[in-house]
Amino acid sequence: MNEALNLLQPYPFEKLRALLAGAQPSADKKAIALSIGEPKHRSPAFVAEALTANLDQLAVYPTTLGIPALREAIAQWCEQRFKVPAGWLDAARHILPVNGTREALFAFTQAVVNRADQGLVVSPNPFYQIYEGAALLAGAEPHYLPCLAENGFNPDFDAVPAEVWQRCQILFLCSPGNPTGALIPLDTLKKLITLADEHDFVIAADECYSELYFDEQNPPAGLLTACAELGRSDFARCVVFHSLSKRSNLPGLRSGFVAGDAAILKSFLLYRTYHGCAMPVQTQLASVAAWNDEVHVRANRALYREKFDAMLDILGPVLDVQRPDGGFYLWPKTPVDDETFTRELFAREHVTVVPGSYLSRAVDGFNPGAGRVRMALVAPLAECVEAAERIRAFTKGL
């Protein structure tokens, strides 16, 4: 067996199950889960209709590159959303459909890392655990950059030593961040592109939460925006990952895309051809319908805004918690350690959250997620309000 498998840590939810084992919440309180970041809003009906209307495509082998209609729809969406000049994104060279970003982030790391160089895969801390697992199984060493409140929950990239950048092969970014919801400023993205040029590493921007934000008039910038402003029409060393899971409440569709540097994507396409992970044609056609519509996406954001407003009104007086820049998580400080808070909240109020220390790694004895919990605002509004009221009552009783 691959010995690197022994390096993998349990997923946060495995640790959570172990933490809550034996706890007996009150039977008169309905369970409310704020733990798993699975969208619960209704999926768009027109996407389901497009899927079922094309079930005859079950008889067709899909290609790894995907159908032109999907790649073109994605290219047009990127141009409009991230202010990329028309024609810069060649749908045949700069776009690759994938079966959700989790699978793509993992596979991308296997394709890009050169094991012989003993390289680093650099990521924020806390982080989406697939970054770490992908690095370890690719033969690279994970390197963690703490995301602290004093730096707006973004890594302090200026504090990263030159020797780290020199060994870096992939820099993972997540904006808005999971679990912090922090956006990486546009100027910072430009500086990171300069560093990538200087030290020859790839920037892999996980932007799966990019469409969950609060100001309809000011959608957040992404890595493609930075490329556009720099006049970087080749998107060199820059690759972005997007998904319909959060944007369109379609986690079960397993549909996303990778876009950016054509030379990198050419090699990634070769890898994926052997990997055998082509997206079914009927799924691609349903995805075209989703990427071509923004009405349902605006409605989705409105639902999240309503929940953030309600929960922050209730929790603000009792917890140190702020509205994030984007995403659908709250990241409050806890008045006791995060594991105790999580276990006792479950036992007393039947509300499940995730300890922040489970989403982070301790470096030199310091875990930047410790003393916080992640709350996913995915349940219906009424459940979120009830959960907030229970959390408020619990916190007052500590």
**Residue 166 is part of a domain; what is its CATH number?**
3.40.640.10
In a domain, 312, yes or no: yes
Identify whether 48 is part of a domain: no
Same domain, 149 and 280: yes
- The per-residue pLDDT for range 302-323, each reduced to its tens digit, is 999 999 999 999 999 999 999 9
* Claim to verify: residue 248 and residue 275 sit in the same structural domain: yes
Q: 356-366, pLDDT tens digit by residue? A: 999 999 999 99
Q: How many CB atoms lie within 10 A of CB 300?
A: 21
Please compute the mean of the pLDDT values over residues 293-302 and round it to a whole number: 98
* Token reading at 275: 């990997």
116 pLDDT more than 90: no
Residue that terminates a domain, selected from 276, 293, 310: 293
- Is 47 inside a domain boundary? no
Q: Is the pLDDT of residue 149 over 90?
A: yes
305 and 256 in a common domain:
no
Q: Return the structure tokens found at 292.
A: 């071509």
Q: Is the pLDDT of residue 179 over 90?
A: yes
Asked if residues 195 and 168 have their Cβ atoms less than 8 Å apart, the reply is no
Rounded mean pLDDT of 351-376? Answer: 98
Task: State whether 114 and 229 are in the same domain.
Answer: yes
Pair (279, 311) in one structural domain: no
For 192-214, write each residue's pLDDT tens digit.
999 999 999 999 999 999 999 99
Q: Which of 66, 89, 65, 68 is nearest to 77 (CA)?
A: 89
Single residue among 236, 268, 293 that ends a domain in this structure = 293
Name which residue leads in pLDDT, 24 or 124.
124
Sheet with strand 373-376: strands edge to edge = 329-330, 373-376, 354-355
- β-strand 141-146 against 168-174: which pairing, if any? unpaired
Using DSSP's 3-state secondary structure scheme, residue 367 falls into: coil
Categorize the per-residue pLDDT at 97 as very low, low, confident or very high, splitting at 50, 70 and 90.
very high
Q: Are residues 153 and 246 in the same domain?
A: yes
**276 torsion bin: left (phi>0), alpha (psi -120 to 50), beta (else):** left
- pLDDT per residue as tens digits for the range 223-282: 999 999 999 999 999 999 999 999 999 999 999 999 999 999 999 999 999 998 999 999
Beta bridge partners of 168: 120
Percent of the chain with pLDDT over 90: 97
Query: If pLDDT is split at 50, 70 and 90, which confidence band does 27 have?
Result: confident
Report the candidate in 85, 340, 32 with the shortest Cα–Cα distance to residue 235: 85
In a domain, 49, yes or no: no
User: Is the pLDDT assigned to residue 398 strictly greater than 90?
Assistant: no
Structural domain total, the chain? 2
What are phi and psi for residue 279, nearest 5 degrees? -80, 130
Q: Clarify whether residues 270 and 312 are in a common domain.
A: no
Residue 141's beta-bridge partner residues?
Answer: 120
In this structure, the answer to whether residues 270 and 343 fall within a common structural domain is no
**Are residues 12 and 128 located together in one domain of the fold?**
no
Sign of CA dihedral 91, 326, 102, 144: positive
Other beta carbons within 10 Å of 21? 8
Distances (CA, A) of 78 to 95, 183, 263, 349, 358: 10, 18, 19, 43, 34
Q: Which three-class secondary structure state does DSSP give residue 194?
A: helix
Structure tokens at 155: 């890594």
d(CA 371, CA 302): 30
Q: Per-residue pLDDT tens for 215-236? A: 999 999 999 999 999 999 999 9
| Residue 379 belongs to domain spanning | 3-42+296-396
User: Last residue of a domain, which of 253, 269, 293?
Assistant: 293
Domain match, 207 and 129 both: yes
Identify whether 28 is part of a domain. Answer: yes
Q: Are residues 254 and 139 in the same domain?
A: yes
Share of the chain above pLDDT 70, in %: 100
Query: pLDDT tier at 132 (50, 70, 90 boundaries)?
Result: very high
Give the span between the Cα atoms of 303 and 290, in whole angstroms: 18
Q: Which of 27-31, 177-181, 230-234, 305-309 has the lowest mean pLDDT?
A: 27-31
Pair 190, 224 in one domain: yes
**Which residue type occupies 318?**
V
pLDDT score at 340:
98
Average pLDDT over residues 185-193: 98
Q: What is the mean pLDDT of the chain?
A: 97
